Amino acid sequence: MKRIVLLTIVCMIIVFSAVGYYYWDNSQNETEFFDQDNNSTGDGLNESEGVETYVLQNNAQAAQALQPKILYWGSTGQDVKNVQWKLLQWGYYNSAVDGIYGTRTFNAVKRFQRQNGLLVDGVVGPQTAAALGLFFGDAGAGRGTGGGAGTLSRNDDIYLMARAIHGEARGEPYIGKVAVAAVVLNRVEHPSFPNTIASVIYQPGAFTAVADGQINLQPDSESLRAARDAMNGWDPTYGCRYYWNPATATSRWIWSRSVVIKIGKHWFGN
Amino acid sequence: MKYKNLILPIILAIALIGTAVWGYNQYAVKNEFETALNNSYQRLFYDLKNHVENVQVSLSKVLLADSRDQNVLLLSQVMQQASMAEEKLSQMPVSHFELAKTEKFLNQVAEYCFSVSENCLEGKPPNQEQREALVNLEQYTQHLTKELSHLHNKIKDGSLSIGAITREQQQQLQEAEGDMLNTRLVQLEEKMTDYPELIYDGPFSDQVMNIKPKGLGDRKVSADEARDIAVRFLKQLGRQEAITPSMMEEGQHMDKQAIIPSYTFVFESNENEQPPIYIGVSKTGGNVVWLENVRFINNPKLSIEDAQKKAGEFLSKVGYKNMEPNYNVKYDGIGVFNFAYTQDDITIYTDLIKVKVALDNGEILGIDAAQYLKAHHQRDLPEPEISADEAQARVKTNFDIDSVRLAVIPRTGVEEILCYEFKGKYNGGDFIVYVDALTGREEKILKIIQDENGTLTF
């Protein structure tokens, strides 16, 4: 009995020290990460080391870019998201843009291939990707400065807006989502605010959905369409730059705003 | 056996130690993140201060400079530094409404200097009025620099922390000292309010922001009349709803603050599963400002050309004549078509209407006439003073031109200019080049991106 007790205690000590070490180790890594970051900006002591890591990373990326990428059942990641999004846009796919190549994505890819005279295999290789207007890994590489549509688009902005809408106005009627997106764009055009979509959305303290991380949720197709509508000019707020929910707004300042219209639960004003 | 009643305390003691180790590590990690964040804010602040100082220095040099080249150079330095300062300022962990005016100041400084430098390029050195404005701006920047240095000293000696990002922390700070970054910047804000209004033509200038729409007409429309207009408009769309629209609640400042004060109606019924239709009717003139039918399309089968025809037919049916289709985009089974007004075969790019067409049955799903209503008026278009050939001589020689025509384009802000529009290819890409038809100045270059979804201009 005595031995069992001792054994248990020894085991537990081992387990706890292992857990402790794990966390300790992690935090050590974190420190290194920041050190490296400083080095690459050029003011660290062991600069050469940092630069080396940087070069190595770049080489690895370059090597990756040279191989044509193929997406198939079970693939995950941003490229899959891009494919899903394109298919969603063109009406071949109507499920979540989640970056997971599953049955629905597979079927949608097959439908797309059939419609476009491609080999119907449910695999996104270079040809299907090109037909989708996507270029994996080699964006911009080897293109002249004048040509090439693959490098320039507003898709990133639209996707960011859709995420902001999804985080900020998920439960709102469709028009309320367009309105929130319109507010972002009205801010971009106003001197009192930053001048790009990303800097308006990520401005500290501007949107609660950004502060609490809800902006990182996957946007649904309604948010995407609302983002596009707003980018194309639709503005149900008639030029407003602020909105708030009277039930939850805590800032006294917001009540001094002038009010223009109520859409869903939000008041819009200037 | 005598150890038996020691087992539990020992296990608990170990658990406690484990938690302590874990907690300490969490604390250490948190501190590291906080330091990293604080460092980047420190850097932001240093940069901000430097940019503002540079603005001040360059502004004072502009006042002394006497040659066109120096003026343009210095003014573009001011512009660049002011925009960078604005960008840095907007990243500070301070709530927006405490920075709004300072941001506006920096944006307007940048834009004002741009507009003055454009004048310089046209051979007009800054006049008395502009010089006075520049002196004024320099003084305000000086003040800004002073305040920022003051703040910076406090941050350096540690009596002010910028890293307080969580709401809790900010609350604590607010209660404790009342001397936090926020409060200091508020005081700065108060001083930034009264800088004189800058008179210039640019999208951020106060005159341009407050411009009244030109294309509405003058008749005041009551809510009931507007409702009739909305119902009639929907009939013209080919919809025979029996639903009476409800008006959306508007705020007390609608008439003053909205760009186009309007009544907004929604056609929505709970009985059938019809998606709602929204329509905005301007209070002056009774024009349909926008319409949105929230229907999702499942089986797009209509071609873009057919849809464009439908959009065009619809526009002339509701009374918009001389509209010329421009570019289009396609998404979610919807085609969006951009129409520009034409006067005497000259395209007026400021008077734009967008029409959304469902690509399944060709129904009109949306219209956005706000741009048109803002800008449209009967114009006295000047005769071009240079010929198309003369204008073409101003364009880069190996630009491969496909077509030439006259068009009116917006310049910065509200100004409109008559231009020759050259569409063509250069270095494998599609471009449009605009040359002023009166002065021969190369005004604007647009890059065209065509992809399977439509046309984009950059």
What's the mean per-residue pLDDT of chain B? Answer: 83
Q: What is the mean pLDDT of residues B144-166?
A: 71
Residue A124 and residue A161 in one domain: no
Q: Is residue A239 part of a domain?
A: yes
| One domain for residues B346 and B415 | no
| Nearest residue of chain A to residue B84 (CA atoms) | A194
Co-location of A87 and A161 in the same domain: no
Same domain, B453 and B361: no
Show which of B174, B209, B244 is a domain's final residue.
Answer: B209
As given in the structure block, the two tokens for residue B103 are: 């941001």
**Statement to judge: residues A175 and A263 lie in one domain:** yes
pLDDT of A21 = 61
**Are the C-beta atoms of B99 and B92 separated by less than 8 Å?**
yes
CATH code (residue A122): 1.10.101.10
**What pLDDT shows up at residue A48?**
36
| Residue B21's pLDDT band (cuts 50, 70, 90) | very high
Name the residue among A2, A8, A146 with its Cβ closest to that of B426.
A146
What's the average model confidence in pLDDT over B75-99?
A: 84
- A10-52 pLDDT, tens digit per residue, is 666 676 666 656 655 554 443 333 333 333 333 333 333 333 3
Higher pLDDT, B122 or A36: B122
Are the Cβ atoms of A260 and B257 closer than 8 angstroms? yes
Task: Say if CB B261 and CB B285 are below 8 A apart.
Answer: no
Question: Contacts of residue A205 in chain B, CB cutoff 8 Å?
Answer: 93-96
What pLDDT does A219 receive? Answer: 85
Residues facing B278 on adjacent strands: B266, B292
The minimal CB distance from B203 to the residues A148, A189, A205 is found for: A189
Angle at A5 between CA A3 and CA A6, to 5 degrees: 65
Chain A residue numbers with beta carbons less than 8 Å from the beta carbon of B101 are 192
Do B288 and B145 reside in the same domain of the chain?
Answer: no
A153 interface with B at CB cutoff 8 Å:
yes
Min distance B95 CA to chain A CA atoms (Å): 5
How many H-runs (helices) and E-runs (strands) does chain B carry?
12, 13
Of A144, A221, A229, the CB nearest to B427: A144
The CA distance from B105 to B99, in Å, is: 10
Is residue A146 within 8 angstroms of chain B, CB to CB? yes
Of the ranges B71-80, B92-101, B394-403, the best mean pLDDT one: B71-80
Report the pLDDT averaged over residues B265-291. 86
| For A268, nearest residue in chain B (alpha carbons) | B251
Contact present, B351 and B342 (Cβ < 8 Å)? no
pLDDT, position A45: 34
Closest by CA to A146, choosing from B224, B403, B458, is B458
Same domain, A172 and A240: yes
Nearest CA in chain A to B21: A20
Does A209 lie in the same domain as A243? yes
CB-nearest partner of B204 from A191, A232, A234: A191
CB proximity A221 to B under 8 Å:
yes
| A125 assigned to some structural domain | yes
Cβ-contact B422, B399 below 8 angstroms: yes
In a domain, A24, yes or no: no
A159 and A260 in a single domain? The answer is yes
A48 part of a folded domain:
no
pLDDT of residue A16: 60
Test the B interface: residue of A1, A27, A154 with most B CBs within 10 Å? A27
Residue A198 touches partner B, C-beta closer than 8 Å = no
Q: In the predicted model, is pLDDT for residue B177 greater than 60?
A: no
Q: Please tell me the predicted confidence (pLDDT) of residue B170.
A: 55
User: What domain range includes position B417?
Assistant: 388-457
Its sign, for the CA torsion B73, B74, B80, B81, is positive
ipTM, two decimals = 0.84
Query: Using the 8-state DSSP alphabet, how is residue B250 labeled?
Result: B
**What contacts B429, CB < 8 A, 6 or more positions away?**
A144, A145, A146, A147, A148, B447, B448
pLDDT at B330: 84
Least CB–CB distance from B331: residue in A9, A191, A228? A228
Confidence bin at A153 (pLDDT 50/70/90): low
Closest residue in B to A149 (Cα–Cα): B449
Q: How far apart are CA B32 and CA A37, in angstroms?
A: 14
Verify that B333 and B236 share a domain, yes or no.
yes
State the alpha helices, DSSP H only, in B355-444: 370-375, 388-392
pLDDT the model gives residue A38: 34
In a domain, A218, yes or no: yes
Assess whether B106 and B49 both reside in one domain: yes
| The pLDDT value given to residue A51 | 36
Chain segment A98-146, per-residue pLDDT in tens: 888 888 888 888 888 887 777 777 888 777 777 776 765 433 333 333 3
Total of domains in chain B: 3
Q: Based on the domain organization, do A211 and A111 belong to the same domain?
A: no
Of residues B11, B104, B276, nearest to A192 (C-beta): B104
Residues B344 and B436 in one domain: no
Are residue A92 and residue A191 in the same domain, yes or no? no
**pLDDT for res A13:** 66
Last-in-domain residue among A62, A96, A131: A131
- Chain B environment of A88 (Cβ under 8 Å): 332
pLDDT tens, A196-232?
Answer: 899 999 988 788 888 888 888 888 888 988 999 998 8
pLDDT surpassing 60 at residue B169: no
Q: Does A23 touch chain B (CB under 8 A)?
A: yes
A94: closest CA of chain B, how far (Å):
9
Taking an 8 Å cut-off on Cβ atoms, the answer to whether A238 and B260 are in contact is: yes
Instruction: Name every chain B residue with its beta carbon within 8 A of the beta carbon of A229.
Output: 292, 366
The tally of domains found in chain A comes to 2
Give the model's pLDDT for residue A43.
35
Per the CB < 8 A criterion, the answer to whether A106 and A113 are in contact is no
Q: B306-330: per-residue pLDDT in tens?
A: 999 999 999 998 888 889 988 888 8
Instruction: Return contacts of A81-90, CB within 8 angstroms, 24+ apart.
Output: A82/A134, A83/A109, A83/A124, A83/A129, A83/A132, A83/A134, A84/A108, A85/A155, A85/A159, A85/A224, A86/A132, A86/A133, A86/A134, A87/A112, A87/A132, A88/A221, A88/A224, A88/B332, A89/A224, A89/B331, A89/B332, A89/B453, A90/B300
Residue A173: inside a domain? yes
The answer to whether residues B32 and B163 belong to one domain is yes
- Put residue A42 in one of left, alpha, beta given phi > 0 → left and psi -120 to 50 → alpha: left
The closest of B412, B349, B406 to B376, measured between CA atoms, is B349
pLDDT of residue B315: 92
Q: Which of B336, B352, B375 is the last residue of a domain?
A: B375
Say if the Cβ atoms of A234 and B292 lie within 8 Å. yes
Give the model's confidence band at B202: pLDDT under 50 very low, under 70 low, under 90 confident, else very high: low
CA distance A183 to chain B (A): 13
Give the whole-number percent of chain A exceeding pLDDT 70. Answer: 65
Domain boundary among B144, B177, B209: B209
* B188 and B277 fall within a common domain: no
Residue A93 structural domain: 78-131
Would you say residue B382 lies in a domain? no
Chain B within 8 Å of A250 (Cβ-Cβ)? Answer: no
Q: Are residues A179 and A251 in the same domain?
A: yes
Distance (Å) from the alpha carbon of B286 to chain A's nearest alpha carbon: 15
- With an 8 Å Cβ cutoff, are B90 and A203 in contact? yes
Q: Would the CB atoms of B278 and A236 count as touching at under 8 Å?
A: yes
Question: Is B105 within the bounds of a domain?
Answer: yes
Strands (E), B303-441: 323-331, 334-343, 346-358, 364-368, 400-410, 416-426, 429-436
B447 touches chain A (CB under 8 A): yes
Residue of A159, A238, A265, A270 to mutate for B, most B C-beta atoms under 10 A: A238
Residue B218 belongs to some domain of the structure: no
Residue of A nearest to B37 (CA): A34
What is the CATH classification number for the domain harbouring A217? 1.10.10.2520
Q: Which residue has the higher pLDDT, B120 or A26?
A: B120
Longest dimension (CA), chain A: 82
Closest partner residue to B290 (CB to CB) among A148, A234, A268 is A234
Per CB-CB distance under 8 Å, the chain B contacts of A236 are: 264, 278, 280, 290, 292
Q: What is the C-alpha to C-alpha distance for residues A172 and B294, in angstroms, rounded to an integer?
A: 13
* A91 and B CB contact within 8 Å: yes
Q: Is the pLDDT higher at A266 or at A90?
A: A266
Residues of A in contact with B294 (CB under 8 A): 174-175
Answer whether residue B215 is part of any domain.
no
* Residues forming beta bridges with residue B413, ordered by sequence position: none
Tell me the backbone φ, ψ of residue B211, rounded to 5 degrees: -70, 145
Is A2 a member of any domain? no
**B383 in a domain, yes or no?**
no
Q: Are residues A192 and A87 in the same domain?
A: no
pLDDT at A39: 34
Residues B345 and B398 in one domain: no
Tell me whether residues A20 and B25 touch, CB distance under 8 A. yes
Q: Minimum mean pLDDT among B15-29, B293-307, B387-401, B441-455: which range?
A: B441-455
Residues B177, B255 share a domain = no
Residue B216 lies in a domain: no
Q: Is the domain of B120 the same as that of B239?
A: no
Answer whether A235 sits within 8 Å of B1, measured CB to CB: no
Q: Are B109 and B136 in contact (CB under 8 A)?
A: no
Considering the domain architecture, whether residues B299 and B343 belong to the same structural domain is answered as yes
Residues A182, A255 within the same domain: yes
Is A30 domain-assigned? no
Distances in Å between the alpha carbon of A191 and those of A187, A259, B452?
8, 20, 35
Q: What proportion of chain B, given as a percentage, has pLDDT over 90?
A: 19
Question: What is the predicted pLDDT for the residue at B188?
Answer: 65
- CA–CA distance, A43 with A55 (Å, rounded to integer): 17
Distance from CA of A172 to the nearest CA of B (A): 13
- Give B-chain residues touching A146 at CB under 8 angstroms: 426-429
- Of A47-51, A123-127, B71-75, B244-248, least confident by mean pLDDT is A47-51
Q: Is B83 helix (H, G, I), strand (E, B) or coil?
A: helix
> By the 8 A CB rule, do B434 and B442 touch?
yes
A235 and A181 in a common domain: yes
